[in-house]
Chains A and B, each alone.
Chain A
Amino acid sequence: MPGERKAIRKRIVLSNTNALSVQMEDLEKETLTDRRLIGSVVGLPENVVDSLRAAEAFRPTQVWGLFRRPGVLIREESVVLGEKLAEAEETKGSFRMVIDGDRISGKSMMLLHAMTTAFLRGWIVVNIPDAQELVIAGTEYAPIEGTSPIMYSQNEYTANWLGQIAKANNTVLHGLQLSQKHDLPIPIENDMSLVRLCELGARDKEVSWPIFKAFWSEITAAGRPPILVSLDSLGQVLQTSMYRDAAYKLIHSHDFAIVAHFADCLSGKNRLANGGAVIAATNRSHDPISKSLELAVKQSLEMKQGGKLLTKRDPYEKKYDERADRVLQGLEILQLKGLSKVEARGLMEYWAKSGVFRSRVDEKIVTEKWAVAGNGIVGEIERNALMMRI
């Protein structure tokens, strides 16, 4: 069967009946910013799990399949992020953030946490699960008529994406109805719900991009809930894509309508009028190296730490991307490091309770695993405590 092996590879198992059931608190709207929970693993509520799954927030590389039900570790950074999101909702403001950190330091999980927070708070979540899919020339593309310079739409991806958005935000979008007049290629009812609008776009890929634009103008209209726009693997969309234009030149990824839309959100050009956040996570495993991103991250951290710019732009470096630079200006960076020992212990106790970590969790073993894992890089702890059998 075509696509069968890919389906197996990308399959996400969220429950394992062999694992022991662990008594844990469910994450709720009230406990999102609760500092008491730092270092403990909390369960994800069932309706949020459905939404997260629809939004493809779970990645096949994460080990959800070892446990009875999905739970996340609350770490210091997640509470900080939760507080920022709460503040954005209250003040109707918005922030733009890039989550960066070493390999397997939990960047995608932080994104998942942000999405969980957004779902619990009743936001609209627009997630691009893997930016790679947009730029590696794996999905169809077509120039959009009447654009100069030419922009390209990716109709099949957009249609699928609209379907995901509709499914993930079903409850919120059901309550929202069209409030504006739209000039669309297909006739629509004036008072249809936004879920219905997304579904129309998902069904007919030819009109998916105009429908997404209409959907966006609807959700940014006055009186709508805040929006979380998120993307994983930022490095992929900061340079030329692998698509070619009619003259056989490589197309820059920002010439694609979806990517350009996200880039405008990240640069602050597309304002989120009802508040919200734009969060992108980098990927240190298979993203292409983006010199612009490296520089932006470095400079942003220096400004945050010392308030003084130490790293200057390298005048001899040719690989900076001008269009990426414009997007990355003045971004906030959330730098993920290793877990603290308290957090590591909380995580390991959860593993032990689930029956997958067969050893006593004491000071000694926590310190050992923590140290071996490069001072608590969470994926490394998982590797040497959970995956490795000696």
Chain B
Amino acid sequence: MVFILGVSFHESRLVKKCLETFYGIGHQHSSQILAKHHIFPGAKVGSIPSKTITAITAELSTLKIENDLRRQLRDNLQRLKDMGTYRGRRHAMGLPVRGQRTRSQISTARQLNRIERRG
């Protein structure tokens, strides 16, 4: 098991995929992090030296990811609501925000739009 930012990963997993498990890191950021530490895209977690793992963890801790990013999202929604904007209201009601019709097909909005949005 290898620990990256406090999360344990199996040695056989790809470094890139491990990085992408963090909320806020996708293809672009993970590729850039790999390139920065000279890790090739097919590298497995078990094969890279612990020094590099530490460096990656250090770098990840400077980024706004996971709970920080989720909090930012919620704060933004809360701000909209506090200002009393239409967008804020629609989020709070779980309805589409950008003028879509609501007669049918709003399951995505029902699922996602809320003030305490998960992410």
Contacts and interface: CB of A to CB of B under 8 A. Distances in A.
Contacts of B41: 137
Do most interface residues of chain B lie in helix, strand or loop, or is the interface mixed?
Answer: loop
A143 interface: yes
Interface residues of A, number: 15
A138 B35 contact: no
B33 to A, nearest CB: 10
B106 interface: no
Nearest to B44: A2
B32 A248 contact: yes
Interface in B29-47: 31-32, 34-43, 47
Contact of B35 (A2, A142, A245): A245
Interface string B46-65: 01000000000000000000
A248 B35 contact: yes
Nearest to A247: B35
Nearest to B47: A140
A246 B42 contact: no
B36 A243 contact: no
Given A244-B31, A248-B31, A138 B42 contact: yes
A246 B40 contact: no
Contact of B38 (A2, A138, A139, A143): A143
B92 to A, nearest CB: 40
A138 B14 CA distance: 13
Nearest to B35: A244
30 contacts: A2-B12, A137-B40, A137-B41, A137-B42, A138-B40, A138-B42, A139-B40, A140-B39, A140-B40, A140-B43, A140-B47, A141-B38, A141-B40, A142-B38, A143-B38, A152-B38, A243-B40, A244-B31, A244-B34, A244-B35, A245-B35, A245-B38, A246-B35, A246-B36, A246-B37, A246-B38, A247-B35, A248-B31, A248-B32, A248-B35
Interface of B: 12, 31-32, 34-43, 47
